[in-house]
Structure 1
């Protein structure tokens, strides 16, 4: 102990004896860093706009909800989108059935001039922002750093990715270059510029905290860059830029208990924004690819049930009839490991890649079926709105906490099912493993351990056969969606 203390004192004395120029060099380095941020601000700020929106809204305060549900881990106000001082978030269903009055409201956000495809900037200046910033707008005004103001109109919006393009009849404003966001690294310096709380052209600095954030429940299509650069209400739609002054993302959302900055912000990556924006300019809408499958994350429990190691891939829970996937021979229970040669990491990343693939394109999938790898080719279809996806006695499965009943014609009609195809869950014991897995009364159990069940008795026998392993793989249907559930006890 004394030896360690003595060593520490010697080290301290050595530090104190260092020449003064060492600390001077450190301060000089900090000055250079500060000048780098100032240089970014000078280069980028003239391209950033303050957006004011006038529109209609129902009278009263719009409540918020957590994307994790009513019992989310951080409470109801944890997640809030930011749209000026209105904080609309994502509304719940109104509690009252009475019609609400409409009132004029003012919202605010940010945006930035960007370089669209060659030939698309002939007569207009295009501005990238968030779809929710200009949603339901009757009048949009944009203000530049030089105090010039213009009336803008919406070129196109894509609510599913929360990207919008607006346009003004003006020239001479320098567009920001959209960087290759796939090359952004965790830990890299980034700068957020926008208009938080209406404070025009505010700059904040941070780092890239994470990449590829999906399944947050913010947008339908997610691939967020996470940053700790301070982002607040009003920053929405503004650029997240690197030290070269190139936009790597569009600031979009925050996690917050208070509605303000808490160190966790999200930006739509520039590669996704570029693809969506150019489609909006050229066609006024976004065309997305379609496979016709329902997929779910391959958890360790599901992987164990399928007798494989959960290294990567997603599980095919359902294949739609007459879909590109069915025509190519993809089956329920297949595990998609690679898409066009690249590993499939999670549900969100595969969904994004399929959506961004042009309809008519033939892609290669590597799947795992019954423990064996198989390569297949599938021609991507076009996603349209209509594709957005006999015993009467009850049997109780005590180990997992389920009570099921054979489907009668009356029950089948009531629950939109088919007699002889599965059994109906009539009761789920509170606190049971079935309840913890999210199974609810009204669910149809189609298979147990990859075998179809047609009656409550068959279901009970299948559960008993698994009692020694204490593991069960169920295929269930909820509404129009099917998914696998792995239970263990």
Structure 2
């Protein structure tokens, strides 16, 4: 009987334990959420005083209003609705029947944040970061802080290629936000977006970093976006994306949307890129970019196989410009760049950004693979300046890859800006063929087959026939003034 009572008591204790543990866990969970909420509130208190609401007045011609391009091309049926820029209700390209013809006044809006404060003997200056597309056509700019104070602003400098702009106001004692090292940002970190969506001043939204290093989105010429699911809406553009320390990791720039509103994907320019560009805009009024003089393309698994190297090793040099820094350094077409300035090269966008932000005149090292051997080249970075029907005739058809080509006669060479005997011109591409799927179009000039120059349609045909057994051929083509390698397998 004593055993039964003891056993019953133990069983009762175990049951009580199982019942009470969830209550403790629930209390801990609520407390954790409470602490998380306090952390967000702390970020808001720290960051909001330095965030501004930007109002822009500009002239716009009815005939000049165009749709913003989308990064996904025409294959998306809702492409015209993607990436609405953040000018409140006045989205460029939106059809409106009540717009008067000719010149008109327009009001736009966006966000920004204090990047730098300078105290001077005669006057104080405050520099504010925002997006170029917010202020690019501005005639009058006014900024409003959280405390209601307003200032007239003027443009310090703009960089349309990265969509970054700096504006300035005459004021003193305004706090500047600290820019964090965005290279240390990790996927999954909490971030806070603050701005003025739809004109609602100093709105805070919260999310996580969904991805980093987005370089082929198609919004700007130079991209290295942070992707986040923090809600970003029209009017947020130019506002800060902050971490839980209250430091800026990026500037909100664009959204992925079917309707112009929040769809769970937003993009921000990382703080490291912002800092490099903003400093140049403040000091020089413009951005000076580095230049190598090469055309590069991603090294796909098919191309890597054709070049007999491992996939994921760098990027491929498709073309080297005459008398360019790259040519002077000894870089060749077909080289694979695996490192720049001692850092690995993994994608085109990241490499392009790093070269562009290298000051002209600086010497850097390029590590390349050439014919399977590793070489190091010293290159002096240059300065980036600002800066056609098919004729019928004898042709050869390569049925395996779906191409018909023709020898470049003198007349054809003039037409396609080539030299006679320098490659063959594509006169026909069979719909649905592997060549068509690879993007080869009539008018493209094929310069090499399997890294060997071809001078006639007959040479091209023989070279392709030699590849039939391996069922793979590597072509070097010139199309639209650019050269690139194409690996075709069947």
Query: Same fold, TM exceeding 0.5?
Result: yes
Which residue does the alignment assign to 1:24? 27
Matched, 1:43 2:72: no
Matched, 1:80 2:84: yes
Residue pairs, 1:463-474, within 5 angstroms: 463-474=464-475
CA distance in 1, matches of 2:349, 2:450: 26
Kindly tell me: are residues 120 and 36 of structure 1, through their superposed partners in 2, closer, same or farther at Cα, counting changes over 3 Å?
A: farther
> In 1, are the aligned partners of 2:300 and 2:312 still within 8 Å (CA)?
no
Residue pairs, 1:316-331, within 5 angstroms: 316-331=317-332
Which residue does the alignment assign to 1:189? 190
> In 1, are the aligned partners of 2:117 and 2:125 still within 8 Å (CA)?
no
Q: Alignment partner of 2:220: what SS? A: coil
- Structure of larger gyration radius: 2
CA distance in 1, matches of 2:101, 2:350: 40
Which residue does the alignment assign to 2:430? 429
Deviations 1:162-221 (A, max 9, x none): 100000111121111111111111111110000000000000001111111111111111
> In 2, are the aligned partners of 1:152 and 1:168 still within 8 Å (CA)?
yes
CA distance in 2, matches of 1:120, 1:266: 39
CA distance in 2, matches of 1:220, 1:322: 24
> In 1, are the aligned partners of 2:58 and 2:107 still within 8 Å (CA)?
yes
Q: Give the unaligned 5+ runs of structure 1.
A: 1-10, 93-98
Residue pairs, 1:63-142, within 5 angstroms: 63-72=67-76, 75-88=79-92, 101-115=102-116, 123-142=124-143
> In 1, are the aligned partners of 2:252 and 2:268 still within 8 Å (CA)?
yes
Deviations 1:109-163 (A, max 9, x none): 0000013799899721100000111011111111111111111110000011110
> In 2, are the aligned partners of 1:225 and 1:268 still within 8 Å (CA)?
yes
Deviations 1:322-343 (A, max 9, x none): 1111001000000000111111
Return the offset for 1:32: 1.4
Deviates further, 117-126 or 365-374: 117-126
> In 2, are the aligned partners of 1:404 and 1:426 still within 8 Å (CA)?
yes
Which residue does the alignment assign to 1:58? 61
Q: Alignment partner of 1:76: what SS? A: helix
Kindly tell me: are residues 14 and 73 of structure 1, through their superposed partners in 2, closer, same or farther at Cα, counting changes over 3 Å?
A: farther
CA distance in 2, matches of 1:323, 1:13: 79
Which residue does the alignment assign to 2:377? 376
CA distance in 2, matches of 1:328, 1:12: 77
Residue pairs, 1:305-316, within 5 angstroms: 305-316=306-317
Which residue does the alignment assign to 1:230? 231
Kindly tell me: are residues 403 and 108 of structure 1, through their superposed partners in 2, closer, same or farther at Cα, counting changes over 3 Å?
A: same
Which residue does the alignment assign to 1:280? 281
> In 1, are the aligned partners of 2:225 and 2:268 still within 8 Å (CA)?
yes
Deviations 1:447-468 (A, max 9, x none): 1111111111111111111111
Kindly tell me: are residues 26 and 12 of structure 1, through their superposed partners in 2, closer, same or farther at Cα, counting changes over 3 Å?
A: farther
Deviates further, 414-423 or 274-283: 414-423
Deviates further, 60-69 or 335-344: 60-69
> In 2, are the aligned partners of 1:82 and 1:234 still within 8 Å (CA)?
yes
Which residue does the alignment assign to 2:247? 246
CA distance in 1, matches of 2:127, 2:68: 32
Kindly tell me: are residues 65 and 376 of structure 1, through their superposed partners in 2, closer, same or farther at Cα, counting changes over 3 Å?
A: closer
> In 1, are the aligned partners of 2:118 and 2:125 still within 8 Å (CA)?
no
> In 1, are the aligned partners of 2:179 and 2:248 still within 8 Å (CA)?
yes
Deviations 1:203-246 (A, max 9, x none): 00011111111111111111111111000010000000011111
> In 2, are the aligned partners of 1:66 and 1:72 still within 8 Å (CA)?
no
Kindly tell me: are residues 448 and 118 of structure 1, through their superposed partners in 2, closer, same or farther at Cα, counting changes over 3 Å?
A: farther
Q: Give the unaligned 5+ runs of structure 2.
A: 1-13
Matched, 1:411 2:412: yes
Residue pairs, 1:392-407, within 5 angstroms: 392-407=393-408
CA distance in 2, matches of 1:224, 1:120: 39
CA distance in 2, matches of 1:337, 1:86: 45
TM-score, normalisation: structure 1: 0.91
Return the offset for 1:83: 2.5
How many residue pairs get aligned? The number is 468
Kindly tell me: are residues 173 and 181 of structure 1, through their superposed partners in 2, closer, same or farther at Cα, counting changes over 3 Å?
A: same
> In 2, are the aligned partners of 1:115 and 1:178 still within 8 Å (CA)?
no
Deviations 1:261-282 (A, max 9, x none): 1111111011110110010010
Which residue does the alignment assign to 1:7? none
Deviates further, 196-205 or 460-469: 460-469
CA distance in 2, matches of 1:116, 1:311: 44
CA distance in 2, matches of 1:129, 1:166: 8
